[in-house]
């Protein structure tokens, strides 16, 4: 009986360590070379388009770029993406790119100094309605590696 209690105690301790490690990993933004977000219609279908942020020594300022693609022929709807960094304790938008039109893409190079090295970013991709409304936005987070 004593062996069972010792084994259970060890198992419980291992579970606590594993759970703590997983929580810590999930709470920390990943170092990101790029963040990709795919946009779907209501109920998960159809595929509408995508947004992509690339943190790399590319783009006009060698500080990465953002690109969006509208992959669905649905009139004046489109895809919009924004990149945010924290300034004075609040998320502040530093770059924006949008596109409308069947199978169209648009790219926007990042500014020379934003985001800075190792700075945390929020990348938001949304459906863009004909009246300019952003809908069903998805956020992803990372850190600028470059």
Average pLDDT, the chain: 81
CATH topology of domain 29-144: Immunoglobulin-like (2.60.40)
Measured distance CA(51)–CA(66) in Å, rounded: 7
* pLDDT the model gives residue 118: 83
CA terminus-to-terminus distance, the chain:
57
Query: Does a cis peptide bond (omega within 30 degrees of 0) precede residue 38?
Result: no
Rounded to an integer, the average pLDDT of 75-97 is 94
Measured distance CA(98)–CA(111) in Å, rounded: 17
| Chain centroid offset of residue 64 CA | 14
Rounded to an integer, the average pLDDT of 92-115 is 92
* pLDDT the model gives residue 10: 52
Residues 6+ apart with CB under 8 A from 125: 37, 39, 50, 51, 68, 79, 80, 81, 137, 138
- Asked whether the predicted pLDDT for residue 13 surpasses 90, the reply is no
- Per-residue confidence at 33, pLDDT binned at 50, 70, 90? confident
- Asked whether the predicted pLDDT for residue 26 surpasses 70, the reply is no
Rounded to an integer, the average pLDDT of 55-61 is 70
Measured distance CA(61)–CA(81) in Å, rounded: 19
| Confidence (pTM) | 0.76
Rounded to an integer, the average pLDDT of 96-121 is 90
Rounded to an integer, the average pLDDT of 118-127 is 94
* pLDDT the model gives residue 16: 38
Question: What is the percentage of the chain residues whose pLDDT exceeds 70?
Answer: 74
């Amino acid at each position: 009986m004593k062996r069972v209690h010792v084994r259970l105690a060890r198992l419980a301790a291992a579970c606590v360590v594993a759970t703590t490690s997983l929580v810590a990993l999930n709470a920390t933004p990943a170092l990101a070379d790029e963040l990709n977000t795919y946009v779907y219609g209501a109920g998960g279908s159809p595929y509408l388009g995508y947004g992509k942020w690339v943190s790399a020594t590319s783009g006009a300022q060698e500080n990465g770029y953002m690109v969006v693609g509208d992959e669905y022929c649905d009139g004046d709807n489109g895809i919009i993406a924004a990149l945010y960094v924290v300034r004075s304790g609040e998320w502040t938008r530093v770059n924006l790119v949008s596109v409308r039109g069947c199978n169209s893409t648009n790219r926007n190079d990042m500014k020379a100094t934003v985001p800075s090295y190792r700075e945390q970013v929020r990348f938001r991709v949304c459906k863009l309605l004909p009246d300019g409304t952003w809908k069903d936005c998805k956020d992803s987070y990372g850190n600028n590696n470059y």
